[in-house]
Amino acid sequence: MPIAGYKLVELANGSHAVYSADYDEKMHPGLGPQAEAELLYVHQLRIAERMHDGAGEFVVWEVGLGAAANAIAVLRATRGISRRFRLISFDNTAEPLAFTLENAKALGYLYGYEEQAKTILEHSHVCFTDGTHEVDWQFHLGDFPALLAGHPSIPAPHAVLFDAFSPARNPAMWTLPLFTSLFRALDPVRPCNLTTYSRSTMFRVTLLLAGFFVGRGVATGLKEETTVAANALELIEQPLDRRWLERARRSDSAQPLHEPVYRRAPLSPECWAKLSVHPQFQP
């Protein structure tokens, strides 16, 4: 039975992506699901490299399971690394994954992981051997801000794939309180990086005020630049500088969202005072 509210769309490069009618947005609209997931999340966060260089369990949070393109890209990129891997996915619906499984042939990127994706859809948890490492994949279905507040026992991540729908369409997932809670959920002695497709001044200010170090990320088709953040400055290759800070001060859309209602506003004096003393911008 077709999954209402979703459809396949063909992108300019010939690949297919999933469109959500509820949010009126495509998932991975630039390069397509597989290429964009690999470039933006896997390579930009250096997940395979960081897994290879460390020991113990490596934990990735995927905020926005969606059509599972990011999850599959991470699994495929790390299957040759002999290290235990825990992938924790979050979303408020499993319908995009169900739609993806119905259209797996057209989308292509699920190949080799169809059974694991079916198990996640049906049971929200699957453990399996993938190449040379053991995988524990969990799916938490529900409102992410509430899940973050109510599940302090979730293992802290080494990397976060943040792939919510845009602030204009899904403002509850882009507020300063949410990212402050996310930063507090990190282990302060465990380096962790985060990336997403947005490059907006508002979002970057939000990350900085939440406690992150923030930098410029790679281009992804429709985006000339994305955003990376981390709790350790050494994980940021191109940190934002004071020239960016001055532009943020003059921007008419830099004030973080404090409530789940989208709006544009310049920085308040209180936010500017906090931003100007952030460690990233000190001599």
Strands 159-162 and 125-130, sheet pairing? unpaired
Residue range 153-211, pLDDT digits in tens: 899 999 999 999 999 999 999 999 999 999 999 999 999 999 999 999 999 999 999 99
Is the pLDDT confidence value at 148 over 60?
Answer: yes
- Write out the DSSP string of 145-172: HHHHHH-TTSPPPSEEEE-PPPTTT-GG
Three-state DSSP state, 33: helix
Task: Kindly indicate the confidence band of residue 2, based on its pLDDT and cuts at 50, 70 and 90.
Answer: low
Q: What digits encode the pLDDT tens for the residues 247-270?
A: 999 999 999 999 999 999 999 999
> What angle do helix axes 95-102 and 114-123 make, rounded to 10 degrees?
150
pTM metric for this prediction: 0.95
When mean pLDDT is compared across 10-19, 64-73, 100-109, 211-220, the lowest value belongs to: 10-19
Residue 152 in this model has a pLDDT that exceeds 90: no
pLDDT the model gives residue 20? 92
Q: Which of 33-37, 38-42, 90-94, 139-143 has the lowest mean pLDDT?
A: 33-37
Domains in the chain and their CATH numbers?
32-281 (3.40.50.150)
Mean of per-residue pLDDT scores for the chain: 94
